[in-house]
Amino acid sequence: MNTDYRKYKHYGLEFLVVFLGVLISFQLQNYSQSKAIKSKNELFLKSLVSEIDANIAYCEEHLSQLKNMLVINETIEQEFRFDKPFLMKLHNANPFGHSYLEDGSYRYWTTPSDYENLYLWMITWWNTFAQNEIYFNSLVSNGLLLEIKDADLRNRIEGIYSTKKRRVIVNEQLLKANSDKIFKWAEAKRDASVISRSRDYVFTELKDLQLKNLIEDRSYRIELRVMSLEHYIQSLYSVREDLAQIKL
Residue-wise pLDDT for 89-124, tens only, equals: 999 999 999 999 998 899 999 999 999 999 999 999
Q: Is the pLDDT of residue 41 over 90?
A: no
Half-sphere exposure of 95 (CA within 13 A, CB side): 13
pLDDT of residue 24: 58
| Assessment of whether the complete model's pTM goes beyond 0.85 | no
Determine, yes or no, domain membership for 164: yes
Count of domains for the chain: 1
Q: At what angle do helices 209-245 and 151-160 cross, to 10 degrees?
A: 150
Give CA–CA dist 210/206, Å, rounded. 11
The percentage of residues in the chain with a pLDDT greater than 70, rounded to a whole number, is 83
Classify residue 16: in a domain, yes or no. Answer: no
For 143-184, the pLDDT digits (tens) are 778 778 888 888 888 888 888 999 999 999 999 999 999 999
The predicted model gives 79-93 an average pLDDT of 98
Q: What is the pLDDT of residue 148?
A: 81
Q: Which has more pLDDT, 11 or 88?
A: 88
More confident: 86 or 48: 86
- Tens of pLDDT, residue by residue over 206-233, are 999 999 999 999 999 999 999 999 999 9
d(Cα 208, Cα 211) in Å, to the nearest integer? 5
The answer to whether the CB of 68 falls within 8 A of the CB of 125 is: no
Q: How confident is the model at residue 128 (pLDDT cuts 50, 70, 90)?
A: very high
Whether residue 35 is contained in a domain is answered as no
> Is residue 26 a part of any domain in this protein?
no
Q: State mean pLDDT over 37-49.
A: 75
On whether residue 6 sits in a domain, the answer given is no
pLDDT of residue 17: 54
Q: Residue 71: is its pLDDT beyond 50?
A: yes
Phi-psi region of 130 (alpha: psi -120 to 50; beta: other; left: phi over 0): beta
CA distance 218 to 66: 12
Mean pLDDT value across residues 17-27 = 56
pLDDT at 69: 99
In a domain, 27, yes or no: no
Range of the domain at 188: 45-245
pLDDT class for 34, splitting at 50, 70, 90?
A: low
Q: Is 21 within the bounds of a domain?
A: no
Query: Whole-number mean pLDDT of the chain?
Result: 87
Structure confidence at residue 31 as a pLDDT band (50, 70, 90) = very low
* 3-class state of residue 101 by DSSP: coil
Is the pLDDT confidence value at 204 over 80?
A: yes
- H or E element that contains 85: helix 84-93
